[in-house]
A and B are shown apart, each in its own frame.
Chain A
Amino acid sequence: MRDNTGMVNLARRTLLARSAALAAVTSFGSARVAFAAAPATARERRLLVLVELKGGNDGFNTLVPYADAAYAALRPRIAIARDAVVQLSDAVGLHPSLAPLLPAWREGTLAVLQGVGYPAPNLSHFRSIEIWDTASRSDEFLSDGWLARAFAAAPRPATFAADGVVVGSNELGPLAGTKLRAIALADTESFQRRARLAKPAAATGNRALAHIRRVEADVREAAARLSVQREFAAAFPSGGFGNAVRTACEVIANPSGVGVVRLTLDGFDTHANQAGTQARLLAELAQGLVALEAALKELGRWDDTLVLTYAEFGRRPKENQTGGTDHGTASVHFALGGTVRGGLYGAMPDLSRLDDDGNVAHTLDFRSVYATVLQRWWDIGARDVLGGRFEEIALVRA
């Protein structure tokens, strides 16, 4: 039933969009249209903030199964000491660097998604992140990102500054797709200044040329709509990730709207000497998320924001010989937001049942998380976008 209703809604909205397009003024040289009066619906205004933990964060030292004897046995050198773990239950707890997230946990707005992965996992960085970015099966190859497909099915309002804004990375990931209006920027001020170099032009010519011309048009539109500067009372941590969080908040502060903001925290590929590196990175992550929450509350946007972490994979339960961990499979991820239903989701993977590579089986398919975002957060038909039905989880209230 829900699917049917969703389909009807979708069709109706597309119809409305089309009739609005007829009355709209075509922006110069662009196939896109500027809507004179098509305010975003409350659903469309709902924001997704993705945080990529690039390199493959070690889930077992992020959400620590401290009560499982197998955990300490597998990791004689790098296990997090039981008394250092920030306990969330009598079985699991957070890495001490994630302590800043404890208030959100207590408030019930931090969801901890355990064992997120997919069947027949691929252990290569780029293939696995490609699987996550395109929401494909392990044995299929798709070119467009899952968000590009989602927004092809349910276009974001043309009044948005951009469908997606990627902060601090040149890789568009889930926003990759030739039809999407995705902007990559390092900070908003310099983006404004530099956008003047883009020239309006029709997106014609060969594939590469058409792509270049389309990007020029996107830049001009986005720059015109990301012009509001905003100061925050919230303090952003110093360092690259803190700066990226600040930039993300400046983007979100603009009234024209944006569908998705993607942040990246890099360096999780800890094959050797993992302990110090991961402790630093998780601290950056936690402090950055706390700042993000504070700034979005200032903007009154926290209740219509969903923050989601993701990565290509987790790491192997058994530590390697160099104080690190090799490429793994399922891992833990976080969801935060004013309307997130906090708590533990899924199940901690079974450390006593490892595959031939010494890796765990996933307990929660990442496409279930995506289906939840699509269907419950945005009311976009998830089945077509994901190429199959994935069980949604009760991650958000209402």
Chain B
Amino acid sequence: MNRNTILAVLALGATLAVAAGARAAPQDVLGPDDARHLLARTGFGPTAAEVSALAPLTRAAAVEQLLAGTHKTARLPPPTSMLALDPLRFPGPNATLEERRAFNQRNNREGLELRAWWIQEMLTTPSPLTERMTLFWHNHFVSSQQKVRFARLMHGQNVVLREHALGSFAALLHAAAKDPAMLVYLDVAQNRRGEPNENFAREAMELFTLGEGRYAQQDVKEAARAFTGWSVDRETGRFVFRRGMHDAGEKSVLGRSGRFDGDAVLDVLLAQEATADHIVSKLWKEFVSPDPDAAQVRRIAAEFRRSDYAIKVALRELLTADAFYAGENRGVLVKSPVELVVGALRQLDLAPSDGLPFAIVASGMGQNLFSPPNVKGWPGGESWINANTLLARKQYLERLSRADAGMGPAMRRTAEMDDGSGAQAIAAVFDDDRERRTRTGRTIERGMRDAAFDANAWVAAQSASEGDRARAVRSLLLPLPPQSPGPDEAPPAILVRTTLLDPAFQLK
């Protein structure tokens, strides 16, 4: 066997190993298929360039690179309105109609600026994983502007969530619990000695740490006493401990007793095994599959606890696990609206200048950022898809894929996209008037024109070989084989549209 033959055999072996995909061993390089999967699950839909960059790495190296690329602050500066320092004041009971209206308008406007900013950050960030984790925690430590009202507080919470998004869950829990938006959202500020308000204590156990059924109502009552005195200083907009309202007496929570304050109760919750199980199980559902493997979850949860709740430790385990790459777990997760909206833009190399239209579009699909439906957050998974939301998703993709950014029919069709559900979902941040719908429609149309897609150029860039382009486009955009593929030789615009409208594009 001469040297060339040996090289050829080695090269063939490598190709076969890559093609085998799910059977690849951890020490092998990912190859394009696994690289695409890893990026799709940890980001917003990969581009061909991102896939090529990760494909030659091993699982461990690729995951390490993604984790190392995360950051603690947003890359884009926040809207200047978020930096205002004036006191937080609700209109009092004697406020005039004008004062109330001015209050609403200001927070509505700032809420929209905030949404636009976050979408833009997701669109342009070099570390999509940072934003995915921030979004994950937004849906874990839920607060909604619908109740909190002050956009500034929602921004402050977003900053806290990003800062700890891949740090320590213990630090994140303490920080999120004292975050002013949370204090307002779960009525912590209304919790005082002698008049405990249990809202926060209950959610802290049920949602943030232990999970449903791992505590008793008596634990909630006792814990609520420990959180008394936690409040928001309306002058500074910051957390404040009001000693006079604190119940300093003895409490008994989950079998432990002491003169607990709020932080001490959070530490009691962190000491429970159920907490790590709950968080890892939730991360599994976010990144791996809808059905966590109980044994694997226990193993990873133990690692997670041993590391003092280092979120990167849990993620590293999940993202390098065989289950993550298993064939049966490909394309089994439904993209959230934000993932779908931002992901399609990123994958098609579109860079709209304003995030707002896309925040509104995602809202119409059931995910209004900064306004989750209730304390449990968006339930996600298959519940993202119903007759209404599926049509909103398809309509968006259809519009995005059209090369003609013409005014006439495009304007009309896009206005139809806002059937009121987007406006309705985002109602918390808009005045409820007819003008709003028109404005919303115009905003979406502006964004769509801005994002004008050049199908010919994009498809040509996906593969050097013309004959290979249909395959390249489909394997980049879809996690599964296309369910209803059009002809390979379809014109680029048709090829892209058919692929985006394929049911498999809804999945990751």
Contacts and interface: CB of A to CB of B under 8 A. Distances in A.
Given A126-B374, A194-B395, A197-B501, A207 B195 contact: no
A195 B391 contact: yes
B290 A207 contact: yes
Interface string B409-435: 000000010011100110100001000
Interface in A75-123: 123
A40 interface: no
Contacts, number: 153
B483 A205 contact: yes
Interface in B191-207: 192, 195, 197-199, 202-203, 206
Closest 6 pairs between A and B when the two form their complex, measured CB to CB: A190-B419, A184-B388, A186-B421, A194-B391, A197-B394, A170-B366
Given A194-B391, A209-B480, A320-B197, A172 B427 contact: no
Given A185-B388, A201-B483, A240-B424, A208 B373 contact: no
Contacts of A126: 374-376
19 contacts: A125-B374, A172-B386, A184-B387, A186-B424, A190-B416, A191-B388, A193-B416, A201-B503, A205-B480, A207-B382, A209-B483, A212-B385, A212-B503, A215-B386, A215-B390, A219-B390, A219-B391, A222-B387, A322-B187
Interface of A: 123-127, 166, 168, 170-172, 176, 178, 182-187, 190-191, 193-195, 197-199, 201, 205-209, 211-213, 215-216, 218-219, 222, 239-240, 243, 269, 271-273, 320-322, 326-327, 356-357
Given A184-B386, A326-B199, A199 B501 contact: yes
Given A124-B206, A183-B387, A216-B503, A194 B195 contact: no
Interface of B: 93, 147, 187, 190, 192, 195, 197-199, 202-203, 206, 212, 217, 221, 290, 328, 331-334, 366, 373-376, 381-383, 385-392, 394-395, 398, 416, 419-421, 424-425, 427, 432, 480, 483-484, 501, 503-504, 506-507
A198 B374 contact: no
A227 to B, nearest CB: 15
Given A206-B332, A207-B332, A168 B424 contact: yes
B127 to A, nearest CB: 27
A272 B390 contact: no
A201 B391 contact: no
Contacts of A209: 331, 480, 483, 503-504, 507
A124 B186 CA distance: 12
Contacts of A208: 290, 331-334, 381-382, 385, 506-507
B133 to A, nearest CB: 22
Nearest to A244: B424
A170 B389 contact: yes
Chain A CB within 10 Å — which of B206, B332, B390, B432 has the most? B390
Given A172-B383, A186-B424, 20 more contacts: A123-B198, A125-B376, A170-B366, A182-B386, A183-B388, A185-B387, A186-B388, A187-B419, A190-B416, A197-B398, A198-B391, A198-B394, A199-B501, A201-B484, A207-B382, A208-B331, A208-B507, A209-B507, A212-B507, A320-B190
Chain A CB within 10 Å — which of B93, B391, B421 has the most? B391
A322 B331 CA distance: 48
A218 B386 CA distance: 10
A186 B187 contact: no
Nearest to A326: B197
Contacts of A211: 382, 385
A194 B416 CA distance: 8
Contacts of A357: 198, 217, 221
B119 to A, nearest CB: 20
Contacts of B206: 124, 127
A200 to B, nearest CB: 10
A178 B507 CA distance: 17
A269 B146 CA distance: 11
A213 B385 CA distance: 10
B506 A212 contact: yes
Nearest to B373: A171
Contacts of A215: 385-387, 390
Contacts of B93: 273
Contact of A213 (B147, B198, B376, B503): B503
Nearest to B330: A206
Contacts of A213: 483, 503
Contacts of A205: 480, 483, 503
Given A190-B419, A208-B381, A211-B382, A219 B507 contact: no
A205 B502 CA distance: 13
Nearest to B384: A170
Contacts of B501: 197, 199
Contact of B190 (A187, A194, A272): A272
Contacts of A216: 390, 503
A21 to B, nearest CB: 24
Chain A CB within 10 Å — which of B93, B388, B419, B425 has the most? B388
Contacts of B202: 123-124
Contacts of A239: 432
A155 to B, nearest CB: 19
Contacts of A321: 190, 192, 195
B200 to A, nearest CB: 11
Nearest to A189: B419
Contacts of A273: 93
A126 B374 CA distance: 8
Contacts of B432: 239-240
A321 B191 CA distance: 9
B486 to A, nearest CB: 12
Contacts of A322: 187, 190
Nearest to A162: B387
Contacts of B333: 208
B491 to A, nearest CB: 19
Given A190-B419, A197-B394, A240-B424, A219 B198 contact: no
Contacts of A201: 483-484, 503
A256 B206 CA distance: 44
Nearest to B291: A207
Contacts of B425: 170
A269 B187 CA distance: 11
Contacts of B484: 199, 201
A322 B503 CA distance: 49
B217 A219 contact: no
B153 to A, nearest CB: 16
B503 A272 contact: no
Nearest to A127: B212
Contacts of B198: 123, 326, 357
A317 to B, nearest CB: 15
Contacts of B328: 206
A20 to B, nearest CB: 26
A172 B507 CA distance: 21
Nearest to B367: A170
A181 to B, nearest CB: 9
B216 to A, nearest CB: 12
Nearest to A199: B484
A212 B479 CA distance: 15
A271 B199 CA distance: 10
